[in-house]
Amino acid sequence: MAHPISAFQAAYISIEVLIALVSVPGNILVIWAVKMNQALRDATFCFIVSLAVADVAVGALVIPLAIIINIGPQTEFYTCLMVACPVLILTESSILALLAIAVDRYLRVKIPVRYKSMVTPRRAAVAITCCWIVSFVVGLTPMFGWNNLNKMRRTQELNSSHTGFVITCQFETVISMEYMVYFNFFVWVLPPLLLMLLIYLEVFNLIRKQLNKKVSSSSNDPQKYYGKELKIAKSLALVLFLFALSWLPLHVLNCITLFCPSCQTPHILTYIAIFLTHGNSAMNPIVYAFRIKKFRTAFLQIWNQYFCCKTNKNATSTTTAETGN
């Protein structure tokens, strides 16, 4: 029988629902903008769509599952494990999409002449597919055996052949902290983040060198190209910074849990870290709208074409009907 929801849980659920209501429409708008605007069809924006798909799934799938886990239903071990794994898949997908975006920006400034022949839509699609395959492998690793099943058997002194025992479904109950720290964080989160930091530093270095060269030769076209690249690179680096800012606190708390079992982490810190990870999915469309002109133009075009004009037409029709009566 389910326990009644406490006031604290009700507040948690309300915040999660609010994040989902911002994240899902915002990222659908990003996908919609790329689909309808020809100027947003290059490889970078394909990778941004992949990131947006992961963010939509966070709002539509991960947040509802997180709410279920927070309530703590009684389930079988592997049922709970299936509920916990999607967030691992989507986190890794976001990281790899950000890495692909960073590499793409590097190639645009390193080899601008050969870029279009090297980074074709077909190759971008292959890269996105590979990112998602790796994400599923990394995120589903607990389903393949790296989980807390044996630990729970020993704790509960159950027969080793019995796997269907019922547990209170919590993330830490089924997901191994060794997996979260040694494999997920130290292999698939921290190194890509550090690599992206180095890539963006090199991108900014290359752009500034090129801008200095072009200033001295008074050439306007290359100056315009690299100036535009600098603006976009700054915006995408901001997306990366927000991702790191949102996800690192939770991973730090996981490290504390693993390396200092006696340390008591305040529950409020854990909840704040969880809100940051989920809230990151709602941040990117806001960054695109304020920082990238092509997206801002596309968003306004969608608003004027599908929402604003329809509202005006409906209002005009109503007025006409009333006048006729």
pLDDT tops 50 at residue 194:
yes
Which residue type occupies 131? C
Backbone phi, then psi, for 134, in 5-degree steps?
Answer: -60, -40
Identify the pLDDT of residue 157: 65
Strands (E), the chain: 74-76, 166-168
Q: Count of residues for the chain?
A: 325
- The first and second tokens of residue 249, run together, are 């606190």
The secondary structure of residue 119, as a DSSP letter, is S
Domain 7-306 grouped into CATH 1.20.1070.10: yes
> Domain map of the chain by residue range?
7-306
Q: Nearest CA to 129 among 44, 50, 193?
A: 50
Given a cut of 50, is residue 319 above it in pLDDT? Answer: no
Q: What is the 3-state secondary structure (H, E, C) of 277-293?
A: HHHHHHHHHHHHHHHCH
Find which of 34-38, 134-138, 207-211 is predicted with most confidence, using mean pLDDT. 134-138
Whole-number average pLDDT of the chain: 88
Q: What is the pLDDT of residue 324?
A: 46
Confidence of residue 220 (pLDDT cuts 50, 70, 90): low
Q: Across the strands, what pairs with 118?
A: none
pLDDT tens readout for residues 9-65: 899 999 999 999 999 999 999 999 999 888 888 888 999 999 999 999 999 999 999
- Dihedral-angle region of residue 145 (phi above 0 means left; psi in -120 to 50 means alpha; beta otherwise): left
The Cα-based distances of 100 to 11, 40, 125, 139, 140 in angstroms read: 37, 16, 11, 18, 21
Calculate the CA 308 to chain-centre distance. 29
Q: What is the pLDDT of residue 214?
A: 54
d(CA 155, CA 169): 16
pLDDT in tens, 233-290: 999 999 999 999 999 999 999 999 999 999 988 989 999 999 999 999 999 999 998 9
Where does the pLDDT of residue 217 fall: very low under 50, low under 70, confident under 90, or very high at 90 and above?
Answer: very low
Q: What token pair was written down for 215? A: 């200033």
